[in-house]
Amino acid sequence: MQLARVIGTVVATRKDENLHGTTLLLLQPLSADRAPAGRPLVAVDAVGAGAGEEVFFVRGREASFPFHPGEPPVDAGVVGIVDQWDSA
């Protein structure tokens, strides 16, 4: 899992039928000190996250698991909203 901040949403008027009813979020991956780490990416939302929230996300085949038995064609998915984050 990786940490990120939701920096926006993505609207697609035409998409794979397995993505209908899902929300696409624009994420900025974060380092342990909350600094941007890498390029922004689009992820499908499984938890109802919103703009400005810090989340954790997965990449690869696991990104579609929250939508079982459907198999949306995704390679990144938000699977949790961060309540608190401390780094030593």
Tell me the CATH number at 34. Answer: 2.40.50.220
SS in 3 state form for 23-58? EEEEEEEECCCCCECCCCEEEEECCCCCCCCEEEEE
Domain count, the chain: 1
- Report if residue 88 sits inside a domain: no
- Average pLDDT of each block of 10 consecutive residues along the chain (88 residues)? 96 90 95 94 95 95 85 92 86
Q: Which domain holds residue 31?
A: 2-81
Query: Is residue 86 assigned to a domain?
Result: no
Q: Is residue 8 part of a domain?
A: yes
Model pTM score: 0.90
Supply the pLDDT for residue 68: 83
